[in-house]
Amino acid sequence: MKQELADSCTSKYLLPVNSGIYMADPSAKVFNGKIYIYPSHDWESGVPENDNGDHFNMKDYHVFSLETIDGEIIDHGMILDVDDIPWAGRQLWDSDVAEKDGKYYLYFSLKDKNDVFHIGVATADKPEGPFIAEPAPIKGSYSIDPCVLKDEDDYYIYFGGLWGGQLQRYRNNKAQKTGSEPDDYEPALCAKVAKLSENMFEFAEEPKDLLILDENGNPLKAGDHNRRFFEASWMHKYNGKYYFSYSTGNTHYLCYAIGDNPYGPFTYQGVILTPVVGWTTHHSIVEFKGKWYLFHHDSVPSGGKTWLRSMKVIELEYNPDGTIRTIQGQ
């Protein structure tokens, strides 16, 4: 399969560059004919920067909407605060929203009072919220970065993240006394996938590994930092195929793999977005009014501060064979 560079489009900041409002990890969904964006909310908390991401000390969520991709972005205000989540500790990280039967379900990453990440759920009657959190996280959940795919009548949740996301602490869905990444020559740790229950508040099954294979059908290795999964799961469908996209973390690529069903396995295809300014790369992909868009972020407006990021959007294009044209980070 071929991989071409997309040079016909330019990334656009969704909020004014000098607004002083910093939003990251944009999860974009189409509800009621509009794009709704659910980002994490960066702020200057004063926590020192480290590899575990303690400086990403988010404490609330806002929701934004667009009626057209070039139109005015509307801030609907705060939809959930960490103080309103009964089991909350700190760090309200990435989230995603799904709709079922007129109800909206916000899935979010948050540390509990023991500093362990879990995935919580909050509900609302409108996509712009406000959302009310459940009293406890999803039973058996761990790590970060939930993404939900609606596929026919079923809903699947994808999650996981290394280093500060704590995925390396788990094997077979069980916490380990000491957790570490595999050796470089061993298979890489996988993102997780589980079908959601009918009530949308629980896993309907034990989470499974989402396996990414190389061009020879072998699992990607832990030492393959340019291709292996690190965090930022996203799943979308295009022409009947399932596209799993993700961040490689410390090498700063957005990559993708293609499979034939929601569970995989998935075969690595290439890079969607080359590195941008700022340590993290996190995204969503959505179709809107006949075109596809990549929502992501960078740290240019804040002068490169990795904990003060700004949302961007750019058109995403496919090659005739279904591969995605690589976008150069700007």
| Average pLDDT of the residues in 271-283 | 94
pLDDT digits over 37-56, tens only?
999 999 999 999 999 999 99
In whole angstroms, how far apart are CA 222 and each of 182, 227, 248, 313? 6, 9, 11, 30
pLDDT over threshold 60, residue 8: no
Give the C-alpha separation, 106 to 129, whole Å: 9
pLDDT digits over 152-161, tens only?
999 999 999 9
Give the C-alpha separation, 174 to 264, whole Å: 22
pLDDT confidence band for 5 (50 / 70 / 90): low
SS3 sequence of the chain: CCCCEECCCCCEECCCCCCCCEEEEEEEEEECCEEEEEEEEECCCCCCCCCCCCCCCCCEEEEEEECCCCCCCEEEEEEEEHHHCCCCCCCEEEEEEEEECCEEEEEEEEECCCCCEEEEEEEECCCCCCCEECCCCCCCCCCCCCEEEEECCEEEEEECCCHHHCHHHEECCEECCCCCCCCCCCECCCEEEEEECCCCCCECCCCEEECEECCCCCECECCCCCCCCCEEEEEEEECCEEEEEEECHHHCCEEEEEECCCCCCEEEEEEEECCCCCCCCCCEEEEECCEEEEEEEECCCCCCCCCCCEEEEEEECECCCCCECEECCC
pLDDT confidence band for 330 (50 / 70 / 90): confident
| Average pLDDT of the residues in 75-100 | 98
| Average pLDDT of the residues in 280-308 | 96
231 in active site: yes
| Average pLDDT of the residues in 10-35 | 95
The pTM of the full predicted model, rounded to 2 decimals, is 0.96
Q: Which domains does the chain have, with CATH numbers?
A: 5-327 (2.115.10.20)
| Average pLDDT of the residues in 1-10 | 60
25 in active site: yes
What rounded mean pLDDT belongs to the chain?
A: 96
| Average pLDDT of the residues in 302-329 | 96
| Average pLDDT of the residues in 69-82 | 96
pLDDT confidence band for 279 (50 / 70 / 90): confident
What integer pLDDT is reported at residue 177 of this predicted model? 84
Task: Say which residues have a Cβ less than 8 Å from residue 268's Cβ, sequence separation at least 6.
Answer: 212, 213, 214, 215, 220, 227, 255, 256, 257
Longest dimension (CA), the chain: 50
Q: Which of 205, 231, 260, 315 is catalytic?
A: 231
pLDDT confidence band for 18 (50 / 70 / 90): confident
pLDDT digits over 198-231, tens only?
999 999 999 999 999 999 999 999 999 999 999 9
pLDDT over threshold 80, residue 6: no
pLDDT confidence band for 7 (50 / 70 / 90): low
pLDDT over threshold 70, residue 1: no
What integer pLDDT is reported at residue 95 of this predicted model? 98
- Please give the share of the chain, as a percent, with pLDDT higher than 90: 93
What integer pLDDT is reported at residue 243 of this predicted model? 99
What integer pLDDT is reported at residue 114 of this predicted model? 97
pLDDT over threshold 70, residue 2: no
Spatial contact of 188 and 214, defined as CB atoms under 8 Å apart: no
pLDDT digits over 177-186, tens only?
888 999 999 9
